[in-house]
Structures are given as C-alpha cells and as structure tokens.
Structure 1
Amino acid sequence: MSILYRLLVLIIIALPNSAFALFDACLDYFPTQQLPSTAQIGRDLCFEGFAVYYSPEHKKPIYVVEKLNRNRLMGERQKRSNRFYEEARLPRQERALITDYRDSGYDRGHNAPAADMHNEQAMAQSFSLANMMPQARENNRGIWAKQVEQATRHYALRAGGDIYVFTGSTGDLGRIGTSQVTIPSHLYKLVYDPSRKKAWAYWIENTNTAAMTPPISYQELKDRTGIDFHLPDITP
C-alpha cells in the first residue's frame, strides 16, 4: 500500500462523519429525497425498511426515518425475533453494546418499531442497537407502544398514500454502560402526510410515569430539537 494511499485513508477517517451522511442507498425514505439539516455529527445507516442517522457520541440515533403505507402494514405480520445485535458497520468505539443495557434499568427502545416491519429481513434489522435508545421500561411498553407507535400505524392504514415518520430523542439524563450511551430526557415521533400537507409530533418524557399530552406542531419540534426535517408545503 503506497504512502499516498495511506494518507488519503487517514484524511477520510478524520473528516466529520456528517460529510458522509448521504443515505445513497435509501434516499426514498425521505420526503422529496431531501435530508434533514442538523448541527449534530452522525453516521448514515440504511436498513431494509428504515434509515438511521446515528450519533457516535451518544451511541443512539439522532433520528430514524420510515415510509409507511397501508400496503406495507397490511402484509403478513412478521414474528418478532427479539435478537438484539451490535451494529458491525460502526467502528467499535462508536457502537452501543449489548452489555450497556444489561442491569441498566432501561429498555432497548426501538426508534423504528419492530411492528412496522414488513418482511423477515426488516424485522431482524430493526433489532440493531443502532436503532435503539435507552427508554424507561413502563414508557416503552405502555404509553409509547400503545398511544404513539400504535396510533401512528393506525393513521398510516387510513392515509391516502405514503406517510413519513421520523423518530428520535433528545436531552441528557446521564449514561449507561461502558460505552456511555446517553439516556434521553424526551422522545419524539414526527408524522408527515404529504397528501394532506400536514405534520404533527408526539413529544413524550422518558419516564415511567409520563402522561400523554396533545401533539406539538412541526415548527415547535424543530425549535426543540434543532433539526430541520425539510417537510415541504406544510399547512398550519
């Protein structure tokens, strides 16, 4: 290997991860194929059925995006695998580990839900730790699963076409594990229906006693997260 080639490799590795947030293999998951804008540095990961913009610093997603529709959700339901795995595409020092969540008191909370997955491969990939955030257990299994994720699927079944769903978390309640995975203070799920030019977001505290509150506006979510999701033609 030439010295010049080695230098080139070192330069590429040293560049900010955001320079490579291109999602070349899964741009179709994004409305108008335009990526969100954020100051947070991350890595782009394409999966079967969803895409993750992943934070090497916090060891969890900055956001995850899915494109849902009635046909996808009406297909044969896949058996839940529950086989969580460490994301081998990430450098080891940037990965969350299985052991990070062990005895932490927090669930491995899906961003792109397993119940949204339309085939065996997508179901298996949804258990990547790159798709997980530390989530309060009663929150994950209760209010989030029943009143946020399920409500979003029900809307997708009624919608006239594709809807786009962004899920993520923000804030800092501390760290878990040797990898120092950040525990978020709040979770969000943004739903965008281009046929109606409408968008709204669920905003939930990451606690076991979190209460359901009315959805917030797209603009308010942008203000709270610092992320511009570039949703076109939103009608107030």
Structure 2
Amino acid sequence: MLRFVITLLLWVSVSTGHAAENFAACPQFFANGKPPVLKLHPTDRALCYDSFAILHSSQSKTPVYVAEKLNRAVMAEPPQQRSDHFFEEARLREAERATLDDYKGSGYDRGHMAPAGDMRTAEAMAQSFSLANMVPQAPEHNRGAWAKSVETPTRKYASRATGDVFVITGPVFVPNIAQSPSIGAGRVHVPKYLFKLVYDQSKNRAWAYWHLNDDATRGSKPISYGELVRRTGIEFLPGMSPGE
C-alpha cells in the first residue's frame, strides 16, 4: 500500500533538475538506477509503468524520453497479442496530455516509443498504448524503417545479450518544441527526429539510432553515444563512459 501511495505521488509531481528522485518507484529501467540528466520543465512528469518509465512533456504532449530494461530472460517470454486500445493518460492533467481526437485525421501514426513488441505481459501491453508513450510519427516510417531497422534489431540484440540492455527512446524537436508543427486542437507537437539509445551494460557499449521522422526515411548506420549527447544536450548515462 505504501509503495502504491509513493508511486501515485511520483506520477503527479516532478521537480526541476536531476530526475532521480522522481523515478524512485522505478529505478530498474535506468543503468545503475540513474535517470538521464537534463534541465526539466516544471510541468514535466515522471510516470512509472510495469515495463517502462516515461518522462512526459506538457509542452510537446509527448514523452521527453521513454526508458526500458531488456535482457535475454525478458525476450524469451512469449510476445503478447497487441491490444491496439489507445487511451488518454488520466494521470496527467487535461491541459498537459494528448487526446485521441488530436491524432484523428492528422495523417500521423500514434508512434510507440516503448514498442508494443517489447511487452511480455498483458498489463504491460495494455499500458504501452497510453498516449503518453506516443509521438506523431510518419506512418511509413513507423511501420517501415523504424520497426524493421530499429525496433526489431534492438529486440534481437537484447535476446542474445549476456546481461541487461537499457534502451532509451525519444523525440527531437527542431528548432525547438514551440516552433515545431503540431496536430489537433491540443497542439501535440511533431518531432523532426526520433532516437533510440541502446546500452549493453555488461560490455559498457552504447550506440544510438537517429532517424528523420519522414515517410522516405530508410535504415542508416547508428551514431555514437557521444554524438547523441551532443545532438540532444542530454546526458543519458550519467557517470558512465560507454564505448561504441
């Protein structure tokens, strides 16, 4: 009961600065229990789920990032049947969250950041369809290059890894959130790029996929961890210096 109360409080309150205290209920999704270091907006929210954690932005009405922990044991569990039941995240204030109507007729997919294909329990599968886990994604990119050359290879790598693989996925808005295009009456902002960081803790090795959010995007060579930090300004693995 106490853990539930603590988790509930963390869902609705987050401070500016380092996010560690805000993810106290779900540190397992971060390498060494340390969330990324970045400057937080006062209304950014830390959300803990069964199989992933989200730092959510009320400005973009999308994740800032979504964190997962994958490994051979997790990937050995049978995949769940997709629920395809998208829902508005009731733990966020109405003014801070995306709605189903925002995406309706927009021409964009509701693109998972923590993929449904990673979920290995019915609860986790259902939770992955929260709009807090979505960004407006070009449909051919979502179902094509992103699914085939980013999400599937990441799962395959985790299924062969000897230890834990930490994955952080998120959007990048250019030149910034306010000047990015948006969809719907609620103004859900459309990212210019998407990234997925993969960190193999046992090998201290990391790389990142970086894709233009466009139907014409094809698979490309991953970038280094250092390059991802340079492009985003976020220290995703604080205190660590992973190799490529």
Indicate if the aligned counterparts of 1:18 and 1:43 stay in contact, CA closer than 8 A.
no
The superposition leaves residues 56-76 of structure 1 with CA deviations (integer Å, 9 ceiling, x where unpaired) of 100000000000011111112
Structure 2: how far apart are the matches of 1:112 and 1:219? 22
1:168 is aligned to 170
1:130 corresponding residue in structure 2:
132
Displacement of 1:77 in angstroms is: 1.7
- RMSD across aligned positions (CA): 1.6
Task: Classify the secondary structure of the residue corresponding to 2:210.
Answer: strand
In the alignment, is residue 192 of structure 1 matched against residue 210 of structure 2? no
> How far does residue 44 in structure 1 lie from its aligned partner after superposition?
0.2
Q: 1:63-102, aligned counterparts within 5 Å?
A: 63-102=65-104
Q: 2:188 aligns with which of 181, 184, 192?
A: 181
TM-score, normalised to structure 2, is 0.88
Secondary structure at 1:18's aligned position in 2? coil
CA shift for structure 1 position 32: 0.6
- d(CA) in 1 for partners of 2:228, 2:40: 16
Choose 170-179 or 197-206, whichever is displaced more: 170-179
Partner of 1:9: none
**1:223 maps onto 2:230 in alignment:** yes
Q: Which residue of 2 aligns with 1:3?
A: none
| Alpha-carbon distance in 2 for matches of 1:16, 1:23 | 9
* Distance (whole Å) between structure 2 residues aligned to residue 88 and residue 17 of structure 1: 20
For residue 230 of structure 1, report the CA deviation from its aligned partner.
2.1
**Bigger radius of gyration among the two:** 1
Does 2:216 match 1:209? Answer: yes
Q: Which runs of 5 or more residues in structure 2 are unaligned?
A: 1-11, 175-179
Q: How many residues align?
A: 223
Aligned residue number for residue 5 of structure 2? none
What amino acid is aligned across from residue 208 of structure 1 in structure 2? D
Distance of aligned partners of 1:188 and 1:234 in 2 relative to their CA distance in 1, 3 Å threshold: same
Q: Residue type matched to 2:202 in 1?
A: S
Range with greater deviation from structure 2 (210-219 or 111-120): 210-219
Residue 62 of structure 2 corresponds to: 60
In structure 1, distance between residues paired with 2:66 and 2:226? 18
| TM-score (normalizing by structure 1) | 0.90
Listed as ranges, the gaps of 5+ residues in structure 1 are 1-12
- Is the CA contact (8 Å cut-off) linking 2:141 and 2:214 kept in structure 1? yes
